[in-house]
């Protein structure tokens, strides 16, 4: 696989990182519908992960690849993901991970971490798609 800035080619597939993809979709009139489609695919991916006791812990636009027509959606970069359940025994997540700008409030407060931090990140990504800016941006 060769990398060209934000474009990734694998055989004949063309994927855009979501933060780059936003530049394309913001020109469309159906931005909200497109953002909802992406959110639905993201939540489906997170639901699958959580059903298999995996917490991604680093969901951000930089870790989402989509095709131009949104038919292909990939959640990538599982470098800091963690299994949060061993049978019926919870496994504690202690280490705060992910980009600081995308960390859930419970991480900053030092609260006990669980898989719900992924849900915060999904909402954060959705907000960023709709507004075109980071959730903590003052502009």
Show Cβ contacts of residue 83 under 8 Å, excluding neighbours closer than 6 positions: 53, 54, 55, 91
Name the catalytic one among 58, 77, 114, 118: 58
Closest CA to 18 of 8, 30, 3: 8
**Residue 103 corresponds to which tokens in the numbers above?**
């960390």
DSSP alpha helices (H): ranges in the chain?
18-25, 31-51, 105-109, 116-131
Q: Is 118 a catalytic residue?
A: no
Going by the DSSP 8-state scheme, the letter that residue 132 receives in this structure is: S
Residues tagged active-site: 58
């Amino acid at each position: 696989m060769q990398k060209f800035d934000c474009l990734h080619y694998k055989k004949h597939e063309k994927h855009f990182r979501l933060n780059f993809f936003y530049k394309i979709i913001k020109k469309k009139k159906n931005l909200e519908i497109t953002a909802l489609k992406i959110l639905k695919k993201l939540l489906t991916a997170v639901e699958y992960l959580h059903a298999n006791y995996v917490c991604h812990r680093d969901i951000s636009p930089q870790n989402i690849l989509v095709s131009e027509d949104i038919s292909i959606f990939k959640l990538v970069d599982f470098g800091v993901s963690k299994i949060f359940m061993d049978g019926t025994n919870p496994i504690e997540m202690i280490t705060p991970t992910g980009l600081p700008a995308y960390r859930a409030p419970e991480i900053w407060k030092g609260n006990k971490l669980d898989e719900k931090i992924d849900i915060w990140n999904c909402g954060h990504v959705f907000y960023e798609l709709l507004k075109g800016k980071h959730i903590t941006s003052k502009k």
